[in-house]
Chain A
Amino acid sequence: MESDAAVLLDGLSVRLGRRPVLDGVTARFGGRAIGLLGPNGAGKTTLINTLLGFVRPTSGSARVFGHDVRRRPSAVRALCGYMPETDAIVPGLTGVRFVCLMGELAGLPARDALVRAHDVLHFVGLGEARYRNVETYSTGMRQLVKLAQALVAGPRLLILDEPTAGLDPRHRAEFLRLVRELLEVDHVTVLISSHLLRDVEEVCDQVLILRDGRVAAFRDVAAERRAAAGSYDLELRGPEDEFVRRLAAAGVSLERAPRGRWRLEEGGPHTIPLLLETAVACGVQVRRLERRRDSLEEIFLQAMGEAP
């Protein structure tokens, strides 16, 4: 039973021992790249472990492309490629053998697995190092070989747990470029769990923010980005109330925004000159005027209840 949503969570609760880790999580991941955010202990890794069938839900359900993770864990795993946060490499194997083994375990015939291993190692940029033992790889190379093993069987859902942890800026940029390249392939949906908001912001179109095992926010950031395309944020100094009143009289409304700013929705071509003229007339300094871009940090802080 296939579903168009990569992941469907319906009142998902998970207890580990007596400790509730996920509590009634409901979400529908219909995007191509989903970011999973939250502070330590929020339940991100438990959610991934539940999707992979490592942990059984206490109540509610989780489905991956329509397959229930409790009833059909093998079918779910067959659709997933998983890159764990930990080092998790099998020592004593060359890069190509390691990836080939993972491919064969996923169900590729031996010969095909070997060819695919070469292909995905070239794709991630480890073509030159594929005959080296994996334990000799640097941190960046280890992350790449973990990505390669996750990709070798052509997963529908690629689960990346802290994929850029420990990477230097160059390797991080390279890694995110690979993820963006993967998103150009229709076949793949990516679920990224990360502490690094910038990583998620650069790649994801949906974001699920967890807090204490509950959904703190579930936002379609791609849609929000589109909606905010004509909006501006302003930072003013001086008699703001007078300025806002005059603008309102001229048919332009400003709204209060976080951090003491003002927000202008739907600024047309004549709005900005009008706004600047009014500012001069009122003696207001326009310290900042920029296209609105609800940063993920703001969304995250709002979700955590720490918005300024």
Chain B
Amino acid sequence: MTIRERRYVPWDGRWTRPWVRWLVLPRYGLRAAFRSRLFASLYTMGFAAPLLGLLVIYVDARADQLGQIGAVLAGFEIDRRTFRLFLEVQSRIAFVVGLIVGPAMVADELAAGALPLVLARPIGRWGYIAGKLATPALLLSGLTWIPGLALVLFKTSLSGSAWLLANLRIPAALFAASWCWIALICLLALASTAVAGSKSWGRGLFFALFVAPAAAGRAAATIAGLDGALAVDLSATVGTLYQWLFGDPVTTGLSPAVAVLAVLAWCGAAALVIDRRIRPVRIVR
């Protein structure tokens, strides 16, 4: 047993480098997230599609050696549409994960008034925000572009580098499209909580941001014929980006340029809200 002297001793040991201190926050954030068994189970279920993808790619590559199964899969082709479908499935799971984890990152600290305490440390306000965004970003990366690129590598290992060279657009699209979605979810989740001030209200607001504008945008597009109104529909916007990035025909009724601008506008607005709200002191003017 350690015997401790009840005496204060100043610290004269070594220090970590200032630019890595914010990384402490995602470490604690991930630990807190996986403390919930429900969340851990849900997150584990998010790997079902990547595992299925591995199986499909393997079976497809070995179709000639697999008898009847191979014959069934003979007409099936692993191409960019397959990877887009994979990313769309994973994006929906990522949304649920973001809904659970995103608002939980800062809600407790906001509600407890602990921001002055944390921001009095030498990490800086944007270091703190980056640390808080990093937790959902890491979790969502683990569901989207990381398994996506792993599938691309697996396919390459089975089909040869010629397949990769012919389909270089797939890993690039997987990476870019995933990060569009991750950035949107992380920033909107943090901004929603910063506005709402609590976990439950933050989740409600975050969910509403994906539903209410979508309904309004679709209504405006259908009733008034304003296709541009779909830009406020985040699913349509991101769907457009996915189709465009993977080189598929865009069927959402929204131009890729408008979709890019819409995503940038949403992210910019969320960053602005975060900047306004995540402060050590609220100044009453």
A interface residues with partner B (beta carbon < 8 Å): 16-19, 49, 52, 54-55, 73-75, 77-78, 80, 82, 84, 86-92, 101-102, 104-110, 112, 116, 118-120, 122-123, 125, 127, 146, 149, 151, 153-154, 181-182, 185, 187-188
Residues in B whose Cβ lies below 8 Å from that of A77 = 120-122
Residues in A whose Cβ lies below 8 Å from that of B10 = 154, 185, 187-188
| Alpha-carbon separation in the docked complex, A87 to B109 (Å) | 11
Q: Are B4 and A119 in contact (CB under 8 A)?
A: yes
Residues in A whose Cβ lies below 8 Å from that of B9 = 119, 154, 185
B interface residues with partner A (beta carbon < 8 Å): 2, 4-16, 18, 21, 24-25, 28, 32, 108-109, 112-114, 116-124, 279-281, 283-285
Can you list 19 A-B contacts (CB < 8 A)? A49-B280, A54-B280, A84-B116, A86-B113, A89-B117, A90-B108, A102-B117, A104-B21, A105-B118, A106-B122, A108-B16, A119-B4, A119-B9, A120-B8, A125-B6, A127-B6, A153-B11, A182-B8, A185-B8
Given A49-B281, A101-B28, A112-B13: A75 and B4 interface contact (C-beta under 8 Å): no
Instruction: Kindly list the 7 A-B residue pairs having the minimum CB-CB distance in the complex, ordered from nearest.
Output: A154-B11, A17-B285, A105-B121, A82-B120, A187-B10, A78-B122, A86-B113
Q: Are B114 and A88 in contact (CB under 8 A)?
A: yes
Contact of B122 among A84, A107, A110 (CB under 8 A): A107
Q: Are B8 and A107 in contact (CB under 8 A)?
A: no
Given A122-B6, A187-B10: A102 and B113 interface contact (C-beta under 8 Å): no
Report whether over half of chain B's contact residues are helix, strand or loop; otherwise say mixed: loop
Given A153-B11, A188-B10: A19 and B112 interface contact (C-beta under 8 Å): no
Residues in A whose Cβ lies below 8 Å from that of B123 = 74, 105
Chain B's nearest CB lies how many Å from the CB of A219? 28
Q: Are B6 and A102 in contact (CB under 8 A)?
A: no
| Alpha-carbon separation in the docked complex, A54 to B120 (Å) | 8
Q: Are A149 and B117 in contact (CB under 8 A)?
A: yes
Residues in A whose Cβ lies below 8 Å from that of B108 = 90-92
